[in-house]
């Protein structure tokens, strides 16, 4: 009867109204369409913040304590060129803690609250990077790539292409070489500002 009345996705059951909201939530987190999320498969390795969130989403099919999550996460995390927040911050920004266990957000309010918390943290880090780029002569060698992507998305929407280029000029080439998302925003900003 459950299968006749509801749709199952990622280990949760939804009615038709809820399923659309869940898809929007995954799209906001850029999880929609990722094979690992849709199949509930754990990634073999975690190499950046995005793969960390995907891995945690799959791993938290059922609520788990930090002491259950941490050892499993540390076995698969091989992050070298991304300034990813500590595991506890990733969990707090993306998941709900209830009775000392972390779980996926389920209600629309929970999803919005977590998204706002994450957006606020990303925005704050991006503003710090932009300030550093404007006030320092040194190249930025390490940064949270998801903060850069988030900030570039916001600036793109506001047509602040020169600010995108200001930060881009200060980013170390290693950061640019290893992130196609960041590079795409920079290329678009160059076309908008310089016209080629």
**pLDDT tens-place string over residues 88-115:** 999 999 999 999 999 999 888 998 999 9
* Residue of 144, 136, 128 whose CA lies nearest to 179: 144
pTM: 0.73
* Tokens at 30, concatenated: 């850029």
* Tokens at 45, concatenated: 């390795």
Question: 151 in helix, strand or coil?
Answer: helix
Within 13 Å of residue 49, how many CA atoms lie on the same side as its CB?
Answer: 24
What average pLDDT does range 59-75 have in this prediction? Answer: 94
**pLDDT tens-place string over residues 131-181:** 999 999 999 998 999 999 999 999 999 999 999 999 999 999 888 887 888
């Amino acid at each position: 009867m459950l299968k006749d009345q509801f749709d199952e996705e990622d280990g949760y059951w939804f009615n038709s109204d809820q399923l659309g909201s869940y898809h929007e939530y995954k799209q906001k987190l850029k999880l929609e369409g990722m094979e690992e999320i849709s199949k509930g498969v754990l990634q073999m390795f975690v190499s950046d913040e995005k793969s960390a969130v995907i891995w945690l989403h799959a791993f938290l099919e059922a609520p788990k304590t930090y002491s259950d999550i941490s050892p499993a996460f540390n076995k698969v995390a091989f992050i070298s060129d991304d300034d990813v927040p500590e595991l506890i911050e990733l969990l707090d920004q993306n998941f709900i803690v209830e009775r000392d266990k972390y779980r996926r957000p389920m209600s629309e309010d929970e999803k919005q609250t977590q998204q706002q918390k994450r957006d606020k943290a990303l925005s704050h880090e991006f503003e710090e990077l932009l300030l550093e780029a404007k006030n320092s002569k040194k190249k930025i060698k390490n940064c949270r790539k998801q903060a850069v992507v988030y900030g570039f998305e916001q600036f793109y929407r506001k047509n602040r292409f020169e600010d995108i280029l200001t930060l881009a000029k200060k980013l170390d080439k290693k950061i640019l070489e290893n992130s196609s998302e960041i590079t795409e925003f920079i290329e678009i900003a160059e076309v908008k500002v310089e016209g080629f």
